Amino acid sequence: MSGVGGGAASSTARPASPSPVIGGQSDAERELLARVPTGLLIAGEWRDSSTGRRLEVLDPSTEQVLLSIADATVDDGDAALAAAHAAQRDWGRTAPRERAEILRRAFEAVTARADDFALLMTLEMGKPLAESRGEVAYGAEFLRWFSEETARISGRFATAPDGRSRLMVTKRPVGPSLFITPWNFPLAMATRKIAPAIAAGCTMVLKPAAQTPLTALLFAQVLQEAGLPAGVLNVVPTSTAGAVTAPLIADSRLRKLSFTGSTEVGRRLIAAAADQVLRVSMELGGNAPLLVFEDADLDRAVEGALLAKFRNNGEACTAANRILVHESVAPEFTARLVERMREFTLARGTEPGTRIGPLVDAATRDKVAELVAEAEAEGAAVAIGGRARDGAGFYYEPTVLTGVPAGARILREEIFGPVAPVQTFADEAEAIALANDTEFGLVAYAFTRDLNRGLRLAEELEVGMFGLNTGIVSNPAAPFGGVKQSGLGREGGFEGIDEYLETRYIGIADPYA
């Protein structure tokens, strides 16, 4: 799961407030929040919702309200799609270089305002400021990458094998697209959908997660300033996601759906998209194994595990959900892992030195606590952590579990929190069997000095991405996506732009006939 569709939203609908800024923050935080758009972006204009209802966005570290923003209705969603549909013809005919320059200017603007974006993500999502800064760099790179790919969209021309005709193949934009993005990476999940769509010449409706819509609104403002024409991107945050998006998916004007979130919600969206035979891209759940073999460099393996497990508070579809360690090195590996985690600081993400911030909402924290409690009841031991923190904020202690029994729910479901269950294996065959024992197939990690083993794992593990001796694989220049029930399609890399292009074949009569 990547954050959409799981648990209760930490936001509520309420009447319009005289002032959008409600919670008490530092002067720098208040100044930033005062510059964030609080309306819906439809046809190039910032507007209130059709009913005037508001959506409150919480700070997960204090449970105070950051901002009250416009809460889109079904009518607002329809208006957004109408704007995208109206803009599609002209936008699809815009010169590739012009689209590329908009993306390049957006990259430069996001980079120049990195501190703003980082602070805003920390405020609404909870991740440490250092993590947010990393996401700004990662998210901005999609803008630069696809700005460079825009002018490289190409086709081909050939003589038919029988010589009687000529074959021309061209690429054209898919058309108006609906993007449903999760809360865990508010900027990067938007840029890795929006950037290739702009490059391909598609118009868009973006429905950001209700927990973290502020970053998307600020990014949309940056795109406006970079010269994106009215109607090309429309943004409709809402507390009633299903009600707003269902009519759009059923609308013949929509031609593409891209979703990042839980497999459960993804299945429903795929089924709904079938009626219109929409092009779909689905980045769904993960249950990533991290394998540590007996010949691994344990220092590197521990560092990789800390990165793969605890990046983004553990709230990532790529997080190492199951740490599988060879039985001969498991005690030493676990001891080193726990010792490093004793250095972790659990605090508000804006505090210097914070390694783990609050989880995004109460439902996410409570699920983590439930999974740990169930594992303990079934015989697992807590090596460190294992408790929710009392007081304000949705905090859960960084945790290591050992002796987790096979079949435990914590090994089958995404944890989406800072909890590392450690299992052992006896040999390579058992490690592969354990790693593949899941319906998910997004990513896997392995640490070994044996190159041949690494190559075998790359072929045997049932995943779309594989990190060998590294705890991070995400890169804008690489195709991101999974197999099995982890999704369809790829984002990033040369493959990312193809998700927004249709192939057209034109047969031409023999010019010599």
Q: Per-residue pLDDT tens, the chain, 513 aa: give them.
A: 443 333 333 332 222 333 334 445 799 999 999 999 999 999 999 999 999 999 999 999 999 999 999 999 999 999 999 999 999 999 999 999 999 999 999 999 999 999 999 999 999 999 999 999 999 999 999 999 999 999 999 999 999 999 999 999 999 999 999 999 999 999 999 999 999 999 999 999 999 999 999 999 999 999 999 999 999 999 999 999 999 999 999 999 999 999 999 999 999 999 999 999 999 999 999 999 999 999 999 999 999 999 999 999 999 999 999 999 999 999 999 999 999 999 999 999 999 999 999 999 999 999 999 999 999 999 999 999 999 999 999 999 999 999 999 999 999 999 999 999 999 999 999 999 999 999 999 999 999 999 999 999 999 999 999 999 999 999 999 999 999 999 999 999 999 999 999 999 999 999 998
Which DSSP string corresponds to 224-275?
Answer: HHTTPPTTTEEE---S-HHHHHHHHHT-TT--EEEEES-HHHHHHHHHHHHT
The two three-digit tokens of residue 74, written as one number: 């079904």
Q: Which residue has the tokens 């002796």?
A: 403
In 275-346, where does DSSP find H-type helix? 298-310, 330-341
Helix (H, G, I), strand (E, B) or coil at 412: helix
Asked if residue 430 lies in contact with residue 475, where contact means CB atoms within 8 angstroms, the answer is no
Query: Does domain 13-151+168-285+490-499 bear CATH number 3.40.605.10?
Result: yes
DSSP summary character for residue 201: T
288-475 fold: Aldehyde Dehydrogenase; Chain A, domain 2 (3.40.309)
Question: What is the Cα Rg of the chain in Å?
Answer: 23
Which DSSP string corresponds to 59-106?
Answer: ETTTTEEEEEEE---HHHHHHHHHHHHHHHHHHHTS-HHHHHHHHHHH
pTM for the predicted model, two decimal places = 0.93
State the Cα–Cα distance between residues 484 and 486, nearest whole angstrom.
6
Determine whether 148 is exposed, middle or buried from the number of CB atoms within 10 Å of its CB (0-12, 13-18, 19+).
middle
| Domain boundaries, given as residue ranges, for the chain | 13-151+168-285+490-499, 288-475
Helix (H, G, I), strand (E, B) or coil at 345: coil
The angle subtended at Cα 229 by Cα 227 and Cα 235, nearest 5°, is: 105
Helix (H, G, I), strand (E, B) or coil at 290: strand
Asked if residue 292 lies in contact with residue 324, where contact means CB atoms within 8 angstroms, the answer is yes
Paired strand residues for 507 = 167
The number of C-alpha atoms within 13 Å of 169 and in the hemisphere containing its C-beta is 11
Catalytic residues, which ones?
283
Distance of CA 224 to CAs 104, 176, 231, 235, 383, Å? 13, 18, 10, 12, 50
Which among 429, 404, 395, 396 is positioned nearest to 322, based on CA atoms?
404
Which DSSP string corresponds to 239-250?
Answer: S-HHHHHHHHHT
Distance of CA 131 to CAs 109, 124, 126, 138, 400, Å? 20, 13, 10, 11, 21
